[in-house]
Each structure stands twice: as structure tokens, then as C-alpha cells.
Homo-oligomer: A and B are copies of this chain.
């Protein structure tokens, strides 16, 4: 009932990965126990997560790998190609242009933008870098669905506004700032520096295992 927990969506992604591996290895079926072991999640949790979306298993036998994989791909929206743009062609943006997912069918890099005249015009990966000023025009023309946002923190909010105005539906934000977007634009953060700082917290807090209050 009601909405799906965000944590569930995150786990679906990892189940799908495992199923893809299993399929490649020729494994035909897997139990919630198997999936749980591979993803470090309890078998209860696996079943509950899947139950939000329907009944995919066979009692007594588990899940058919190919079927469940297909269902998860459908649930996660991976059955149609997504047009992706990279905004900000610094080091990180350039590295992302070679992201292996762009070789497969689901994600297609269709544009790259920057404000720096020294970068604009250069061909990187499959695309040529264009001026951010042409975003609206290009977004309409090539039906950009999603964007990788790899601009400096100070420029992130402005870029989000421009992307939202251009009709982009989802943004993967690599900039270390909290940005605000309209209701109809989804932002997911991939935050390296936050991860790094969480890491130092836990590492220095050891050996108390889970982060003792230092008082």
C-alpha cells in the first residue's frame, strides 16, 4: 500500500545486478535466500520489497532469474532508452562521457554542455561540447530526459533551474550541494565528498564499531 520506500528502490537496483550476473552464469532460478545472501539483505526483506510490485515467485521453487530480471527492469524503467546530457565538462564530466552504460542500449549520451569557451566545440566521447546557453534548444531537439550535473557547487542551482526549464525530468547531481528542483524533476545525489566525510566519521569513531558518542 501507499508509497514505496526509497530504500526499497535502492535495493531493487542491487537485486537486478545480481540477477544479471546469475543470468550470465546460466543460473535459472534463485530463492529469496540466494538473493539476500548476494546483496547482504535478509530474505524477508527481499520478499517484502518484491511484494510491493506483485507476485513474481513460485512457492517451493523460488524466482525464475530471467523473469524476475525482466520484471525488475520494467519496474525500474529500463526497458526504453533514456537520452542523457552531461552538464559541466570538467574532469569529472569528461570521465563520465566514457561511462560504460552509454555503450549499452538503455542510456544514450546525446549532449554535453559547458560555459567555458575553451571546452566548447571539443569532441568528448560520442558528443561535441556545446554552450550551456543552447541547452533549451538542444534539449527540445534531442529529447533530453536526464542530466548528469557535474558543475562547480556554486553553479549547480542555476544549472538545475535551467535543466528544469528545458524539460529535463531527472538529474543526477554530482555537485556537493543541496539543490532545489520543481516537483516534477527528480534529483538523485551522487556525492563523493559526503561519502568521504561519512567515511572519516566511522573510521575515526572505531574501534567502537558503530560510532560511540564521544561526549
Using CB atoms and an 8 Å cutoff, list the residues of chain A in contact with chain B: 3-4, 6, 9-10, 12-14, 16-17, 38-40, 52-54, 75-78, 82, 91-92, 94-96, 98-99, 101, 107, 145-146, 169-172, 176-178, 180, 183-184, 186, 188-207, 209-211, 213-215
Contact across chains for B178 and A211 when beta carbons are under 8 A apart: no
> Are B188 and A190 interface neighbours, CB within 8 A?
no
22 CB-based A-B contacts, threshold 8 Å: A3-B211, A12-B201, A16-B197, A17-B177, A39-B178, A76-B197, A77-B200, A77-B205, A78-B197, A92-B95, A96-B192, A99-B192, A146-B203, A169-B203, A170-B200, A170-B203, A172-B199, A183-B209, A184-B206, A186-B206, A188-B199, A190-B190
Let me know if A14 and B172 touch, CB within 8 A: no
Q: Chain B's nearest CB lies how many Å from the CB of A203?
A: 4
CB distance from A182 to the nearest CB of B (A): 11
Number of copies of chain A assembled together = 2
In the bound complex, residues from chain B placing their C-beta under 8 Å from that of A210 are 3-4
Main secondary structure of the interface of A (DSSP, over half): mixed
The answer on a CB contact under 8 Å between A198 and B95 is no
Q: A207 contacts B184, CB within 8 Å?
A: yes
- In addition to A184-B206, A188-B198, 11 A-B residue pairs with Cβ atoms within 8 Å of each other are A3-B210, A9-B211, A10-B198, A13-B197, A91-B98, A96-B192, A146-B200, A146-B203, A170-B203, A172-B192, A172-B196
Across the interface, do B198 and A4 meet the contact criterion of CB distance under 8 Å?
Answer: no
Give min CB distance, A20 to chain B, whole Å.
Answer: 11
With both chains docked as a complex, state the minimum distance between the C-beta of A118 and any C-beta of chain B, in angstroms: 16
**How long is the Cα–Cα vector from A82 to B69 in the complex, in angstroms?**
41
Give the residue of B16, B95, B201 whose beta carbon is less than 8 angstroms from that of A76.
B201
Chain B residue nearest in CB terms to A193: B101
